[in-house]
Structure 1
Amino acid sequence: MNDNDTPDETTDTSSSPRHDSVTGHTHNHDQIEVPDEMSNHDFRAFVMGDGWQNPSDKARTEGISRREFMRESGLAGLTAGAAATAGCLGSSSGGSGDSGTLTADIGYLPITDAAPLLTGYANDHFADHGIQANEPTLFRGWSDLAEAFLSDQVNVAHFLMPMTLWMRYGNELSADVNVVAWDHTDGSALTVQPDIDDWADLGGGKIAVPFWYSIHNVVLQLGLRQHGLTPRTNTSGEELADDEVNLVVTPPPDMPAALANGSIEGYIVAEPFNAIGELEADGKILRFTGDIWKQHACCVITMKEQLVNERPDWAANVVSGIVDAQQWLRGHRSDAATLLSTDDTGLYPQGPEPINRALTLYDDHDQYIDSGAIQNTDWDSSRIGFYPYPYPSYTKELTRQMRDTRVEGDSGFLEEISPEFVADDLVAYDPVETALERAGGPPAFDVEEENGYERRETIQF
């Protein structure tokens, strides 16, 4: 992992992981609670913004049925599994076990971003640090996971990094969410129809994104603008110009089916749904997001700020389990695909083939270099990487980029918060710094010590 390259488009130099620059934005996290009477629709409106509606119906209006596709690609148990496990959640998280210690209740989506959380449980890395963890609970969509997190049914979860900005600052019910570590780096791609060879071919078409506040939406719109295309988010059936691209929010499990039946030209999302698109929907990778924004974070580990403040040792021990899991994953990628899939624990509802592809298949395979999916071959990246420290430079640059990213709903709050403020306020650095130093510091992840806590962001097409 080498982060000393001079970026061509966007750079930001961080001199310290903490800053004192605060805007006039008022935000009190200590006493905020989500009302018990909030309905499911209210939670989804809270997470997705005003005017939210379920986009899944459009993803399966013709062609191959979703049931058939889910069965063929190993996703058939996803919905049933989520419902069954969600029903087992207690009314409150963080309850005491027999020893009176706080229990880790983990919520996750079935994407490879969650691999450290799941490996931490399956390999007893949490237990190695004295953390009692219940079996992680699978959720099908971000709104469902956010509902569980906000109502304290889970107390450790992974969320899209831009989503945590929206949750903390973008709504009158702002949550006291803290980012306590990165879950991974890279791990996403833009998957398209087989006849699409260039970004320009997306003009006049439709691309699915998993969430408005996602690195996928940010990178996609960077790419569209770079290639002279205009992103649209609210066409309401209007005919698109040749230089416009319509973006639609679609749950990740629905994306390969939508590509297979031709209702979208492509989708940008976390793995293993790009691998599934390649294997089952005749899709191809147009570009890996980690080949555009070097070793970016997608999903991050989150806890409630109150929990981090009241139980700092517990928070650090949970993160230590995640750090240990990340180290194991780096050296046991194919083993992890078996461990986490239907062949072993079943924590992922897919079989090992797409997961293994998502964890291993990258720059040593000429197909991606020849096609242009990988262009920055000197970056020494992987299809998905693992490093826990949340670089302040990334948080700051992401906040800046979000201001130029089209989303549905009111995004005015992004103008009211400074990047420096967000890097200081959103992220709790103590748990991950403690955990990383326990594991041997940045060199344990092949990162030079001087680059382990500061870096410059690289965005390059």
Structure 2
Amino acid sequence: MSSPSDSTACDLYDADRPLNMRCACGRNHGRGAEIEVSPDDKLEASLMKALFPVDSVRRGFLRAVGANTARAAIASVLPLGTLQAMAQDKAPLEKTNLKIGFIPITCATPLIMAHPLGFYQKQGLNVEVVKTAGWALIRDKMLNKEYDATHFLSPMPLAISMGAGSNQVAMNVATIQNTNGQAITLANKHKDKRDPKMWKGMKFAVPFEYSMHNFLLRYYVAEAGLNPDTDIQIRVVPPPEMVANLRAGNIDGYLGPDPFNQRAVFEEIGFLHLLTRDLWNGHPCCAFGTSAEFIEKNPNTFAALVRSVLTASAMARDPKNRELVAKVIAPAQYLNQPETVISQVLTGKFADGLGNIRTVPDRADFDPIPWQSMAVWMLTQMKRWGYVKGDVNYRQIAEKVFLLTDAKKRMKELGQAAPEGAYPKFTIMGKVFDPAKPDDYVKSFAISKMA
């Protein structure tokens, strides 16, 4: 990082000189008033560009707070030391030009922010993150090998690996992208229907059948005594289309990802009935993953990808970074949402559409651990609702698809604390899930396709 004494070739904190990143050689080519970025400063300059796409805003900020204050702020949020250590002694990469798909939702925060902040670049990767319209398209592009890796809904690699809803192809979860971060949003006309027992006949959207959204919505209404297959309608709607469908009256509500819950409040067409953290605090939602074939052919590239995403996850988890992260992922090429909407989601200080300003710091989190008991729970719900038939070897599938050991290894390489164990228990709506007894768990529910 540039020191306070740097005042010639590259002082990113000089408020009187525009920042030019177009020259890779580090020399000035006639633009005497511009800052030419040296290779050593490219990562820091990338962060500057991500935070201040308009250079006049950067210079105004520097004049307002001073170079030293700005330098300290950047140093506190960008793990430059870790990234530079990552660049040391890297194994040769089998493939460097990569395409990664994503859906424009806050769940994808780590893999998105790794792009403008230069985390992929520091690993020697030239990554294109590709905004994608819906989950079926994500699945198809992975099956067709158009994407090298992708933002998945965490149950999707399980389903694809089992041939549920698609051709059977081995897929893997490298990291969980986010925990919590979802909500049930209802149209404003239903403010008098806060009890789910009153929802019979209502129409709800989820982003995909093989999603935590679908499984949690089904779980929630079933606990209220409704059969989700006969008492309500559940339809698949891509997340970016949920708000428009709510406004048009095509649906009564949705269990969906942010920022589209908060966007419904912002548009004054819906309210937050509940946050999914209130059903299962710490539940997984989305994942970062790829095919088993890609990992086998490109082990070093895969390791570099995982390190990049884990670095971003660690940065995103720190509450002091949340407003900065909101600024980074808000632009059109990523989420294309008002920064204030994203900031409410990430900081956990938000309007709920019911006249309240709430503070829930863990509304969204980015714990990357792909616990294998999470996979087992998803498999129990797939069996409960008839998405898979017959006997399920829960443990074998979980350990084949959720690459927990590899995630812990990459965390240790980055100096991150890796937790012990593989199969922690979870509590969902007051009921403890024991991953050692999945079939007993499935049979314990009064409402299911198996009943």
TM-score by length of 2: 0.68
**1:393-412 to 2 correspondence within 5 Å?**
393-405=373-385, 411-412=387-388
CA distance in 1, matches of 2:136, 2:182: 20
Q: Aligned letter for 1:336? A: V
- Determine the structure 2 residue equivalent to 1:427: 402
Counterpart of 1:361 (choices 348, 359, 365) is 348
Looking at structure 2, the residues matched to 404 and 311 of structure 1 have their Cα atoms a distance apart, in angstroms, of 36
Instruction: Give the C-alpha shift of residue 351 in structure 1.
Output: 2.3
The amino acid across from 2:294 in the alignment is L
Q: In the alignment, is residue 388 of structure 1 matched against residue 368 of structure 2?
A: yes
Would you identify which runs of 4 or more consecutive aligned residues in structure 1 move more than 3 Å? 365-371
* Change in 2 beyond 3 A, CA 1:286/1:325: same
Does the CA contact (< 8 Å) of 2:207 and 2:238 recur in 1? yes
By how many angstroms is 1:368 displaced?
A: 9.4
Q: How far did residue 201 of structure 1 move? A: 2.8
Q: How does 1:448-459 map to 2 (within 5 A)?
A: 449-450=419-420, 453-459=422-428
Amino acid at match of 1:355: I
For residues 44-67 of structure 1, the C-alpha deviation after alignment (integer angstroms, 9 at most, x for no partner) is xxxxxxxxxxxxxxxxxxxxxxxx
1:334 maps to which residue?
Answer: 323
The residue number in structure 2 matching 1:315 is: 302
* Displacement after TM superposition at 1:367 (Å): 6.0
Q: Which residue does 2:100 correspond to in 1?
A: 106
CA distance 1:202–1:158, shift in 2 (3 Å): same
In 1: Cα distance, 2:242 partner to 2:352 partner: 23
Task: Give the equivalent residue in structure 1 for 2:147.
Answer: 154
- Alignment coverage as a number of residue pairs: 332
Contact 2:372 2:404 in 1 (8 A): no
**Partner-residue secondary structure (3-state), 2:333:** coil
Equivalent residues in 2 for 1:78-93, closer than 5 Å: none
The DSSP-based 3-state class of the residue aligned with 2:385 is coil
Could you say which structure has the larger radius of gyration? 2
1:186 aligns with 2:180: yes
Identify the range of structure 1 (200-209 vs 100-109) with the bigger mean alpha-carbon deviation.
100-109
Asked if the contact 1:192–1:286 (Cα under 8 Å) also holds between the matched residues in 2, the reply is: yes
Is the partner of 1:166 in helix, strand or coil?
Answer: helix
Is the CA contact 1:259–1:281 (under 8 Å) kept in the aligned structure 2?
A: no
Partner SS for 1:230: coil
C-alpha deviation, 1:309, in angstroms: 2.0
Q: Percent identity of the aligned residues?
A: 26
Q: Is the 8 A contact 2:272 2:352 kept in 1?
A: no
* Letter of the 1:162 counterpart: P
Unmatched 5+ stretches in structure 2: 1-92, 431-451
Q: Tell me by how many angstroms 1:253 deviates.
A: 1.6
Q: What is the CA-CA distance between 1:450 and the residue it aligns to?
A: 4.1
CA contact (8 A) 1:179 1:427 kept: yes
Question: How far apart are the structure 2 equivalents of 1:394 and 1:425?
Answer: 13
Cα distance in 2 for partners of 1:370, 1:399 equals: 38
Give the secondary structure class of the aligned counterpart of 2:240: helix
CA offset digits 1:130-177 (Å, max 9, x no partner): 32222x111111112222211111111011122222211125721221
SS of aligned partner of 1:153 = coil
Q: Which residue of 1 aligns with 2:125?
A: 131
Give the C-alpha shift of residue 423 in structure 1: 1.0
Q: Distance in 2 between matches of 1:459 and 1:100?
A: 42
Q: Following superposition of structure 1 onto structure 2, how do residues 61-460 of structure 1 map, counting pairs within 5 Å?
A: 101-134=95-128, 136-171=129-164, 173-194=167-188, 195=191, 196-232=193-229, 244-331=231-318, 332-342=321-331, 346-362=333-349, 382-405=362-385, 411-413=387-389, 415-442=390-417, 449-450=419-420, 453-460=422-429
- Distance in 2, matches of 1:432 and 1:396, equals 18
> Are 1:217 and 1:405, in contact at CA under 8 Å, matched by a contact in 2?
no
Q: Distance in 1 between matches of 2:286 and 2:211?
A: 9
Q: How far does the alpha carbon of each residue in 1:218-270 deviate from its partner, in whole angstroms, 9 at most, with x for none?
A: 1111111111112127xxxxxxxxxx211111121221122222222110111
Instruction: Tell me: CA distance 1:205–1:438, structure 2 relative to 1, closer, same or farther (3 Å).
Output: same
Opposite residue 196 of structure 2, the aligned amino acid is: W
Residues 281 and 370 of structure 1, relative CA distance in 2, 3 Å threshold: closer
| Whole-Å separation in 2 of the counterparts to 1:108 and 1:367 | 27
Report if the CA contact (8 A) 1:388-1:436 is conserved: no
> 1:200 deviation in Å?
2.1
**Is the Cα–Cα contact under 8 Å of residues 215 and 298 in structure 1 kept in the other structure?**
yes
CA contact (8 A) 2:265 2:352 kept: no
Distance 1:208 1:148, change over 3 A: same
Change (3 A) 1:167 1:108: same
Task: Report the equivalent of 2:447.
Answer: none
Look up the equivalent residue of 1:250 and give its one-letter code. Answer: V
Output one character per residue of 1:25-48: Cα deviation in whole Å (capped at 9) or x when no partner. Answer: xxxxxxxxxxxxxxxxxxxxxxxx
Q: CA RMSD in A?
A: 2.6
Say if 1:202 and 1:265, in contact at 8 Å, map to a contact too: no
Cα distance change of structure 1 residues 100 and 169 upon mapping to structure 2, 3 Å threshold: closer
**Bigger CA drift: 179-188 or 305-314?**
305-314
Larger RCO of the pair (alpha carbons < 8 Å, separation 6+): 1
The 8 Å contact of residues 187 and 271 in structure 1, kept in 2 or not, is answered as yes
- Give CA deviations for 1:391-440 in whole Å, capped at 9, x if unaligned: 0111112211221236xxxx344x34221121112123344122211233
Q: Tell me: CA distance 1:150–1:133, structure 2 relative to 1, closer, same or farther (3 Å).
A: same
Give the conservation status (yes or no) of the 8 Å contact 1:315–1:431: no
> Contact 1:180/1:427 (CA < 8 Å) preserved in 2?
yes
